[in-house]
Amino acid sequence: MEPNVLLESLIDEAGMSRAGLAGHINRAGRARGLSLRYEHTAVSRWLKGQRPRGQVPDLICEVLAARLTRPVTLDDIGMGTSGGYGTETASHPASLSGFVDRATALWRSDEQQRPDLAAVPAVTGTPAVMPVWEWENPPEDTDVSRPGPGRVSMADIETLRSARDHYEQLYRKAGGIATRPRIVRFLNAEAAPLLRGGHSDALGRRLHRATAALVAVAGICAYDSDAHGLAQRYFHQALRLAKSSGDRALGGYVIALLTTQSLFLGDHRRSIAFAEAALRAAGDHITPALAADLHAMQAKAYAQLGDAAGARACIARAEAQAGRIHTGREPDETGYVQPGLVDVQVAEALLSLGDLDAAREHAASAVRAPAHDRGRVHRLAMLSHIELLQGEPDRAAGTAAEMAERARGMESQRLRDRLRQVGRELAESGCADAVQTADLIGGALRVPL
């Protein structure tokens, strides 16, 4: 059962309380000969995802339509056949305008910090795979033009592009927990009105591309906040917008984000399939940086599955693509594939295969390469972990101390988890500097280990 963000959005738009909606439904029911005694608690259950029986969904539409002075359908209130999170179902794909309504309803609920939304679990099975399949296969969007109030301009699209760069940098410096409310507020205030505005097909594709890149960063921030169901839905939205933009490479980038999440959640076979779909469908449009990252993630997944031959084959492909990267020829979205990223991914794969010496070589190479602070924290954590495994606790403590200093001030659940893990490993090692380093890590986390 998932929160009904569409119904919540319409209730807010209508300016009604939950008790007020219940009272209106009871009166509308009496006009149809029904004896209803709903209270605000029933509306709360509907907002959590419960679907009322009988004629009640139609009564909800009737009441809201009267208040909003426009038709309201079952799909509009999240009780029809289309997905309620801005995604589509295989048997009932939403129109592009319907998708926009559902996507922006999710943004609005996220900005209002609805607790049920952040806690919703990630979907698995067919619902998790279908958005990727739909991105890869026909039909394509032949016309994304839209009549609407006002007209979208290239200046508006440049604003979205600049915002994406800004929030990505903020995420790298401050973490997803601090950045997510800011980017979601921007999506609601700036991107949502533009998606509903009037635009031609050509301008609409640019608009959808810019919005997709921005929504992808919102998904990254949700992932970094441990809100995996919400992150997944943002990634699915970004993938749908990437398709309507016609930019195959952008879609491949979004699938790389889904691949990262699947790896973290332990679904290694899905990670391999997602990466393969991105490499296959993006084709010649894929850049060396993105291809290198996708192959490296496949290597990690194969290693976790115990397939050494598959892992090493992917490592070779990743390293070959990394050698072809030219920063000036890469889009903004693949800027995260900085020097050393493939090395640290390969180190993780080799570690899973039990090849400690090779893993350390790659981890040390990753640490020597330039990187933003967030990336360097992860690299130092990996190196410290390997140094402990190789029986060098004092050296590991020094590496961990540098890691803690780099992480200071960041609000990231992923970094907190990584730092706690390193702290526990150092404490168990019994090294002389373990207590002092644990204090540094606790200071960076701003909580005791």
pLDDT of residue 83: 47
Report whether 437 contacts 404 (CB < 8 A).
yes
Residues 42 and 160 in one domain: no
Distances (CA, A) of 153 to 48, 74, 148: 38, 33, 13
Residue 449 to residue 441: CA distance in whole angstroms: 8
Residues 65 and 173 in one domain: no
pLDDT of residue 5: 85
Residues 21 and 131 in one domain: no
Residue 399 to residue 288: CA distance in whole angstroms: 31
- Give the bridge partners for 198, in sequence order: 151
- In the predicted model, is pLDDT for residue 90 greater than 50? no
Distances (CA, A) of 2 to 8, 78, 124: 12, 10, 14
pLDDT of residue 410: 86
Residue 130's pLDDT band, with cuts at 50, 70 and 90, is very high
Report whether 292 contacts 318 (CB < 8 A).
yes
Token readout for 431 is: 């090294």
Q: Residue 123: inside a domain, yes or no?
A: yes
Alpha-carbon dihedral 178, 218, 262, 428, rounded to 10 degrees: -10
Token readout for 443 is: 């200071």
Using the Cα atoms of residue 66, residue 68, residue 71 and residue 74 in order, give the sign of their dihedral: negative
Residue 112 to residue 322: CA distance in whole angstroms: 41
Residue 157's pLDDT band, with cuts at 50, 70 and 90, is very high
* Residue where a domain terminates, one of 216, 246, 276: 246
Q: What percent of the chain has pLDDT over 90?
A: 66
- Compute the average pLDDT of residues 392-396: 90
Residues 28 and 63 in one domain: yes
Of residues 111, 115, 102, the one with CA closest to residue 227: 115
Residue 94's pLDDT band, with cuts at 50, 70 and 90, is low
Q: Residue 262: inside a domain, yes or no?
A: no
- Compute the average pLDDT of residues 91-96: 59
Q: Residue 73: inside a domain, yes or no?
A: yes
Residues 236 and 139 in one domain: yes
- In the predicted model, is pLDDT for residue 108 greater than 70? yes
Residues 124 and 198 in one domain: yes
pLDDT of residue 146: 92
Q: What is the CATH number of the domain that holds 19?
A: 1.10.260
Q: pLDDT tens digit string along 336-379? A: 998 999 999 999 999 999 999 999 999 999 999 998 888 999 99
Indicate the length of the chain as a whole number: 449
Report whether 175 contacts 224 (CB < 8 A).
yes
Q: Where are the alpha helices (DSSP H) in 140-200?
A: 154-174, 176-186, 192-196
pLDDT of residue 244: 96
Residue 385 to residue 365: CA distance in whole angstroms: 15
* Residue where a domain terminates, one of 80, 110, 136: 80
Give the residue with greater pLDDT, 288 vs 440.
Answer: 288
Token readout for 418 is: 């990584």
- In the predicted model, is pLDDT for residue 2 greater than 80? no
Q: Residue 325: inside a domain, yes or no?
A: no
pLDDT of residue 84: 47
- In the predicted model, is pLDDT for residue 74 greater than 80? yes
Q: Residue 179: inside a domain, yes or no?
A: yes
- Give the bridge partners for 285, in sequence order: none
pLDDT of residue 134: 93
Residues 116 and 197 in one domain: yes
Residues 234 and 183 in one domain: yes
pLDDT of residue 114: 81
Report whether 72 contacts 10 (CB < 8 A).
yes
* Residue where a domain terminates, one of 212, 227, 246: 246
Residue 295 to residue 212: CA distance in whole angstroms: 23
| 274 φ/ψ angles, rounded to the nearest 5 degrees | -65, -45
pLDDT of residue 145: 94
Total domains in the chain come to: 3
Domain that holds residue 18: 5-80
Residues 449 and 419 in one domain: yes
Q: Residue 206: inside a domain, yes or no?
A: yes
Range name among 58-62, 111-115, 177-181, 382-386 with the lowest pLDDT average: 111-115
Residues 101 and 234 in one domain: yes
Residues 165 and 202 in one domain: yes
- In the predicted model, is pLDDT for residue 85 greater than 70? no
Residues 67 and 103 in one domain: no
pLDDT of residue 93: 47
- Give the bridge partners for 151, in sequence order: 198
**Preceding peptide of 3 cis, ω within 30°:** no
Average pLDDT, the chain: 90
Q: Residue 292: inside a domain, yes or no?
A: no
- Compute the average pLDDT of residues 296-309: 98
Q: Residue 299: inside a domain, yes or no?
A: no
